[in-house]
């Protein structure tokens, strides 16, 4: 009999994601104060915040943002490290009270070079946009070198869509202002993610057994036959009562030791639950021994199946005959009629 091994089933999860980009506020207007007031980028804490409403971010909801990009005519400062933070809000504050948002999520840092026409933030971890009013904050967190006025492209608005404050190097009190302007911005994002597997609801058709002997050979052979494309697993109980571990069925089983055996099996098809367990008992012994050991078994019913696994009324052509006994065991043989 072939070598046995333990079967372990592993469920895989499918991954499906679609990369995309969204650019908003490409209006041809310009502003020198947001997303950052470069002229005053010589002091840590100089800050710019912008609110992008859901109407502007149509199609982005549920997206995992991986990059945020602003556009300029050419950055006019160097040696400045900027930090990008983000937050979803249910309502929109128009900055009328000059109170900037706190507890934002810090998502990226960048140190642009003088002359760059794009201010790019690559997020260390994707930020998932949930569909609210999205606040973007750009803040100076380290500075050295030169700085100067930088023009950013975007779109003028009817309301105070941006807020900024900046620090004079000689003052402890910042200047705070609002702007009716939103910078042009591009979001790189992905829609999708891990898709949980679909739980199967239909059982696999149970396999059947074909047991037989061959003339002149002291052995009993057991073939396990699938009723549909599937993988079959089986185990064996030997005459001494011990069981093997479950193993994948690959070839006809052969038994040469005298005594009574029991084989149990089930099948698993793709996208289906495992089948019912079935059992088959037989004896390896001379014919008289078989008759004596099976004398107490009574037939409870007989069913017929064609090779496609469909039940038929009677044997016709090549047929699988499944016999069920009163003790709950079954046997199956192929017959030709």
CATH number of the domain that residue 63 is part of:
2.60.120
pLDDT digits (tens, 9 = 90+) for 33-76: 999 998 888 888 899 999 999 999 998 999 999 999 999 999 98
pLDDT value at 320 more than 80: no
Are 155 and 38 within one domain?
yes
Q: Is residue 13 part of a domain?
A: no
Q: Is residue 118 part of a domain?
A: yes
Are 131 and 49 within one domain?
yes
Q: How far apart are CA 177 and CA 149, in angstroms?
A: 16
Last residue of a domain, one of 195, 224, 253: 195
Last residue of a domain, one of 195, 216, 246: 195
pLDDT score of 176: 84
Domain range spanning residue 75?
A: 19-195
Q: Is residue 201 part of a domain?
A: no
Are 226 and 139 within one domain?
no
Are 125 and 147 within one domain?
yes
Are 62 and 188 within one domain?
yes
- Mapping DSSP onto H, E and C, the string for 70-88 reads EEECCCCCCCEEEEEEEEE
Are 51 and 184 within one domain?
yes
Last residue of a domain, one of 136, 163, 195: 195
Q: How far apart are CA 82 and CA 44, in angstroms?
A: 10
Mean pLDDT, range 93-115, rounded to an integer: 76
Mean pLDDT, range 268-278, rounded to an integer: 93
Burial 249-273 (b: 16+ CB within 10 A, else e): beeebebeeeebbbbbbbbbbeebe
């Amino acid at each position: 009999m072939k070598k046995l091994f333990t079967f372990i089933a592993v469920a895989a999860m499918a991954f499906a994601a679609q990369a995309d980009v969204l650019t908003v506020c490409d209006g041809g207007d310009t502003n020198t104060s947001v997303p950052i007031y470069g002229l005053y980028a010589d002091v840590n804490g100089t800050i710019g915040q912008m609110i992008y409403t859901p109407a502007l971010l149509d199609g982005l909801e549920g997206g995992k943002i991986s990059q945020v990009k602003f556009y300029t005519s050419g950055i006019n400062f160097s040696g400045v490290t900027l930090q990008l933070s983000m937050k979803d809000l249910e309502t929109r504050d128009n900055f009328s009270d000059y109170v900037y948002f706190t507890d934002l999520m810090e998502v990226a840092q960048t140190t642009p070079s003088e002359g760059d026409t794009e201010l790019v933030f690559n997020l260390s971890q994707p930020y998932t946009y949930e569909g609210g009013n999205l606040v973007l904050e750009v803040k100076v967190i380290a500075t050295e070198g030169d700085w100067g006025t930088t023009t950013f492209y975007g779109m003028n608005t009817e309301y105070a869509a941006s807020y900024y404050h900046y620090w004079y190097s000689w003052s402890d009190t910042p200047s705070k202002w609002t702007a009716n302007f939103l910078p042009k911005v591009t979001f790189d994002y992905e829609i999708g993610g891990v898709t949980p597997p679909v739980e199967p609801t239909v059982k696999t058709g149970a396999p059947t057994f074909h047991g037989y002997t061959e003339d002149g050979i002291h052995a009993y052979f057991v073939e396990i036959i699938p009723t549909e494309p599937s993988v079959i697993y089986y185990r064996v109980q030997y005459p001494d009562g011990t069981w093997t571990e479950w193993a994948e069925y690959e070839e006809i089983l052969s038994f040469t030791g005298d005594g009574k055996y029991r084989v149990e099996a089930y099948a698993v098809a793709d996208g289906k639950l495992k089948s019912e367990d079935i059992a088959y008992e037989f004896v390896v012994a001379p014919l008289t021994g078989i008759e004596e050991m099976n004398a107490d078994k009574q037939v409870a019913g007989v069913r017929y199946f064609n090779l496609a696994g469909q039940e038929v009324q009677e044997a016709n052509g090549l047929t699988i005959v499944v016999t069920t006994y009163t003790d709950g065991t079954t046997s199956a043989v192929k017959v030709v009629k």
